[in-house]
Structure 1
Amino acid sequence: MDDTELVQRDVDIDAAIADLARRYRAAGNLGVQVLNVLNWPAEGVMDRLPENARARLETATVRGLEAAMSAASGSRSLVKDQKPWVNTATTTMVGVVGGLGGLTTALAELPLTVTMLMRSVQAVAAEHGFDPDEEQTRKDALLVFAAAGPMVQGKTPDLTFLSSRVTLTGVNVYVGIGLIAPRLAVVLGRKLAAQTIPVIGAATAAATNYSYSGYYHEMAQVVFGLRRLADQTGTPFDALVELLAARLDD
């Protein structure tokens, strides 16, 4: 029996996939809870964002991701990774400040929020044994942000974002940012729209940042959990995604 067979015997793939499916569902439920509190339908949130803000959102997202990738990575050498609840609390407080002045302060707060989210994703990568500064890990961190986002209600699980892993292969991280940014811009647009009302927007921003922090933490657990499982068992990443999809359909 070779080493691969020994590893496959020791790792319960079904149990691991079941745990990742639980995390995926938990991530989606966070956004549903926020939408219920706001009493907003998911499809109407973006309509609350001014047209000029929507036009600038993708460019701002690219710049925010570029800054977040380097700032989050650099901060890890100065401040050790925190427990998830600490990251969530910090991101929530950042949202409160950003929501106090409506759209103006929300736009200013956005890069900091993205950096905090990226830092949380990198911490999950490290938890699973991956070096956050390694090229493939940085691409997988981007993959987390290709997910649909927390403020989307869908009856059918959407794992198509995981296919972006193939798209990111062979390109550098900054090209990858350009590929992921359009999808993330839509997700961040929902967040900004939820913060457009001054003062009241502070409470809304706290709720949305809480949701986003929890969502991306759980999605990072899914992405890096799949990657570690692939490494442990020798099972192709895509095959594990299919197993996860089947589990979510149950």
Structure 2
Amino acid sequence: MTTENNDLITGSLPEDALAELREAKKSLEHHGIADRLTEMIGAPITASLRLLPDVAEKALYAAVDKSLTVALDVALRTLGGDSVKSGKPRLLTHKLLAGLSGAAGGALGGATIAAELPVSTVLILRSVADIARSEGEDLSTVEARLACLQVFALDPGKESDIDDDTELGYFAVRAAMAKQIRDASQYVVKNGLADKTAPPLVRLIAMIGERFGVVVSEKIAAQAIPVIGAVGGALINSYFIDHYQDLARAHFTVRRLEREHGEALVREAYGSIA
């Protein structure tokens, strides 16, 4: 009997799988985009949707909703037909394109957000899809493609309307979104994507948007610092996509481990990691 089988029988993951899970949890629970931007800029990013003027907040919500709606369309219409099997060769390309998008954006106002954010969001989504394939996801399924979109809700920030908890863990977010993803998947399989205003799709976008909007507000706060400029805007956008690539790699590592070792065992091991 192999060591791996013995480990599984005693109710624990093999050491190599546990090491992967430990690294995944580090990305999923402890490094929000605000922390990364603070490290880069050298000043704390304390943005909140509540601190934005009403006009700016409405513009941000509209931009987030538009961006995620476009991303949903891209996810369901194009990701499954891509023949690329590994995301590694294209991650840098997506990062460079996102950087150019950030540089072109300049100082972010409401109109600039509306123009720049959908581009960045789709670039991130395609990068996430490449990572998903590299971790063995079958993107011919609607559920796997929606799991790519779900990455936009996984930033470990504390502000969210998904739940009353002050800090949501990774599995709590997945559990909170499970019904919306299931309903959206069933709707698309049955009805296609002709009506993107269908309630199951609108509810899914709204739930993801609550968390993604917080991250976007932090990105805007960083880019609004006067000394940032175009070069800083490009760098911030590169951080932005790099952050979601890290979340995607962790997310799809967890999903692969669940397929290999069972969901219950992986979740138990995840919860035991300090």
Q: Which TM class, normalised by the smaller chain length?
A: 0.7 to 0.9
CA shift for structure 1 position 140: 1.4
Superposition map of 1:200-219 within 5 A:
200-219=228-247
Task: Work out whether residues 177 and 207 of structure 2, in 8 Å CA contact, stay in contact via their aligned partners in 1.
Answer: no
Who is 1:63 aligned against? 66
Who is 2:121 aligned against? 114
- TM-score norm. by structure 2 comes to 0.71
Task: Name the % identity.
Answer: 24
CA shift for structure 1 position 150: 7.6
**CA–CA distance in 1 between the matches of 2:80 and 2:98?**
16
CA gap of 1:224–1:168, structure 2 versus 1, over 3 A, is: farther
CA gap of 1:245–1:234, structure 2 versus 1, over 3 A, is: closer
Task: Please give the secondary structure, in 1, of the residue aligned with 2:139.
Answer: coil
Task: Work out whether residues 24 and 250 of structure 2, in 8 Å CA contact, stay in contact via their aligned partners in 1.
Answer: yes
- TM-score norm. by structure 1 comes to 0.77
Q: How many residues align?
A: 238
Residue identity matched to 2:151: V
**In structure 2, which of residues 100, 122, 136 is the aligned counterpart of residue 93 of structure 1?**
100
User: Unaligned regions of 5+ residues in structure 2, if any?
Assistant: 160-166, 186-200
User: Unaligned regions of 5+ residues in structure 1, if any?
Assistant: none
Q: CA RMSD in A?
A: 3.5
Write the deviation string for residues 177-203 of structure 1: whole angstroms up to 9, x where unpaired.
Answer: 222111111111211232235783323
Write the deviation string for residues 31-52 of structure 1: whole angstroms up to 9, x where unpaired.
Answer: 5342133233233465774431
Who is 1:15 aligned against? 16
Q: Does 1:180 align with 2:180?
A: no
Q: Does 1:163 align with 2:155?
A: no
Q: Does 1:245 align with 2:271?
A: yes
**In structure 1, which of residues 58, 65, 74 is the aligned counterpart of residue 78 of structure 2?**
74
**CA–CA distance in 2 between the matches of 1:70 and 1:224?**
21
Residue identity matched to 2:228: I
CA shift for structure 1 position 111: 0.5
Residue identity matched to 2:108: G
**CA–CA distance in 2 between the matches of 1:148 and 1:222?**
11
CA shift for structure 1 position 133: 4.3
